[in-house]
């Protein structure tokens, strides 16, 4: 798992003078499911196309299992791609599409037949082998695209937003199916998406990208619970930010002043001095909504309630005008749970569930 399969070193790419990738480094481990996550234009698709060989980097190197990939044309790279709109060959049957890659390898006929049949059975399309792509549903086309790419048994499978054309339910189903396939085949997956939920639920590791730079690389849990910067925090989920001023530093703990209320927090590894401004980050599910007569928390009023099935989302306007989003699981034993609209409440969180971020002026400006 920890053995590097593909290593990206100092890759830069410009289009018409605009930097798309800026000296990017990335190690992809053998057998992992790595997701490139970011907004459109962050360079994730360009990186994928560079790996596939459809684009050439301005500088930097790509090494796959010790072999320099740069001079290798796409048709000779031991990796395959699942394209965004599937790019199935319209004039070939499902069988023909899947067999194409093996025919290019000039495999014997019976071997091709065997392998194509096996892979089609794996994606549950063996009944539809004689259909043309346009006779299939979106989900079925998606499976043909995957089958076509994995039948060649690549070291690495590149997936360019493969689920973006499917509806929500089918999407969830294909996510599970992709995970299962990846486990069964043991192929390394590099998956591109702009959907943070998809990234978190499927990946072993996620690389959050922005403007051609990897903002953070880590497990879904690290990315969500311990984001390194405001951009990552905001991109992978809902955030509540409390700007705070540090009033004292005592070893592992710091005292801060948040909107006039003192609070004692756990210190993080970045340097913190007295008087410094920091951001205290809380996910909606970390927020606790308390009755107005609670002895701590920020006073405010409930201005919106959204029933989400398993959770209840409340939007609370604090007395200083800031908004806080709270997402609570139902607890039928808690009588105080159901606040009415306009009801005064207090907002707090369980000690230790907060996450400290240094003030990041640039990210603030862009996200605001």
Partner 1 sequence: MKTWLPRTYLFLVYALLYLPIAVLVVYSFNDSRTAYRWGGWSLRWYEALFSNHAMVQAMWNSLWLALAAATVSTLIGALTALALQRYRFRGKKALRGMLFVVMMSPEIVLAISLLALFLLIGLQLGFISLLLAHVTFCLPFVVITVAARLNGLDQRLLEAARDLGAGEFTTMRTILVPVMMPALLAGWLLGFTLSLDDVVVSTFVSGPSYEILPLRIYSMVRVGLKPEVNALGSLLLVFSLIMLVISQLILMRSKR
What is the contact surface with partner 1 in residues (CB under 8 A)? 52-54, 73-76, 80-81, 83-85, 87-91, 100-101, 104-105, 132, 148-149, 152
- In the complex with partner 1, the residue whose CB is nearer, 105 or 252, is 105
The answer to whether residues 123 and 45 touch, using CB atoms and an 8 Å cutoff, is no
The answer to whether residues 331 and 337 touch, using CB atoms and an 8 Å cutoff, is yes
- In the complex with partner 1, the residue whose CB is nearer, 14 or 267, is 14
Minimum Å gap between C-beta 139 and partner 1 is 19
Q: Bridge partners of 24? A: 11
Query: Vertex 342, ends 337 and 346: CA angle to 5°?
Result: 55
C-alpha 10/C-alpha 70 separation (Å) is 13
- In the complex with partner 1, the residue whose CB is nearer, 29 or 83, is 83
- In the complex with partner 1, the residue whose CB is nearer, 100 or 353, is 100
Minimum Å gap between C-beta 27 and partner 1 is 23
- In the complex with partner 1, the residue whose CB is nearer, 43 or 133, is 133
Minimum Å gap between C-beta 331 and partner 1 is 50
C-alpha 156/C-alpha 47 separation (Å) is 14
Three-state DSSP state, 15: strand
Question: Which residue carries 């509806």 as its tokens?
Answer: 167
Minimum Å gap between C-beta 74 and partner 1 is 4
C-alpha 242/C-alpha 240 separation (Å) is 7
C-alpha 51/C-alpha 33 separation (Å) is 15
Minimum Å gap between C-beta 80 and partner 1 is 6
């Amino acid at each position: 798992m920890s053995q590097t399969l593909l290593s990206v070193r100092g890759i830069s790419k410009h289009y018409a003078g605009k930097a798309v990738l800026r000296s990017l480094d990335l190690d992809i481990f053998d057998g992992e499911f790595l997701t490139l996550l970011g907004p459109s234009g962050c360079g994730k698709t360009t990186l994928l196309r560079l790996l596939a060989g459809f684009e050439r980097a301005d500088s930097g190197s790509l090494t796959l299992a010790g072999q320099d990939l740069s001079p290798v044309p796409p048709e000779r790279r031991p990796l395959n791609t699942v394209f965004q709109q599937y790019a199935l060959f319209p004039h070939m049957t499902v069988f023909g599409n899947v067999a194409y890659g093996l025919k290019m390898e000039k495999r014997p006929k019976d071997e091709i037949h065997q392998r194509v049949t096996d892979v089609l059975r794996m994606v549950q399309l063996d009944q539809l082998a004689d259909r043309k792509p346009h006779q299939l549903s979106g989900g079925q086309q998606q499976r043909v695209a995957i089958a076509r790419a994995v039948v060649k048994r690549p070291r690495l499978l590149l997936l360019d937003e493969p689920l973006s054309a499917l509806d929500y339910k089918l999407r969830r189903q294909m996510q599970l199916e992709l995970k299962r396939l990846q486990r069964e085949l043991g192929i390394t997956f590099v998956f591109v998406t702009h959907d943070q939920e998809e990234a978190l639920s499927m990946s072993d590791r996620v690389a959050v990208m922005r403007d051609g730079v990897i903002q953070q690389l880590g497990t879904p849990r690290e990315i969500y619970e311990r984001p390194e910067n405001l951009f990552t925090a905001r991109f992978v989920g809902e955030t509540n930010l409390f700007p705070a001023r540090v009033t004292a530093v005592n070893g592992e703990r710091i005292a801060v002043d948040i909107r006039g209320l003192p609070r004692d927090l756990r210190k993080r590894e970045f340097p913190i001095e007295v008087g410094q401004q920091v951001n205290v980050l809380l996910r909606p599910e970390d927020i606790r909504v308390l009755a107005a007569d609670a002895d701590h928390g920020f006073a405010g009023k409930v201005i919106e309630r959204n029933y989400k099935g398993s959770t209840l989302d409340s939007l609370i306007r604090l007395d200083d005008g800031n908004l806080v989003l709270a997402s609570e699981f139902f607890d039928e034993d808690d009588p105080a749970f159901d606040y009415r609209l306009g009801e005064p409440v207090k907002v707090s969180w369980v000690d230790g569930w907060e996450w400290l971020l240094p003030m990041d002026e640039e990210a603030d400006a862009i996200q605001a």
